[in-house]
Amino acid sequence: MPRGNASQSKVHYQGKDEDFVIMVDDIEAVQNWKNDRSIPLAQVVSGFKIFVTHKHGAQNAYDGASKATLENEFGTSNEDECMVKILEGGALQATEAGERQGPKNDSMGSRQAH
């Protein structure tokens, strides 16, 4: 996951029963993969994990997709095959992670001289 002001890219696939999300390295990598399937998936996706949003859209909390959920939606529980289908039919989204705010070390107190 990105830290600070780094961008986060994902592919959101709206299925018939669930919404699926996979994290990708960047949008350009996905577009290059769509034009050239010889590029390995490992160079496109950020991790081999498929998430479901329980029909709450791409901006909500994610849970890991079960094999039964994948089987119901895609006809297979093979995560690589499901990822290919999500990349082919999903919508690309890029978001910018906000800069961290707040105190850096609360345990140091007010740091005033006595």
Q: What is the pLDDT of residue 17?
A: 86
Distances from the Cα of 3 to the Cα of 6, 8, 81, 96, angstroms: 6, 9, 30, 10
Q: Is 61 left (phi over 0), alpha (psi -120 to 50) or beta?
A: beta
Q: What is the pLDDT of residue 93?
A: 86
**Residue 75 clears pLDDT 80, i.e. is over it:** yes
Mean pLDDT of 16-36: 89
Q: What is the pLDDT of residue 67?
A: 93
**Residue 3 clears pLDDT 90, i.e. is over it:** no
Q: What is the pLDDT of residue 88?
A: 92
Classify 64 as helix, strand or coil. strand
Residue 44, classified by CB atoms within 10 Å of its CB into exposed (0-12), middle (13-18) or buried (19+), is buried
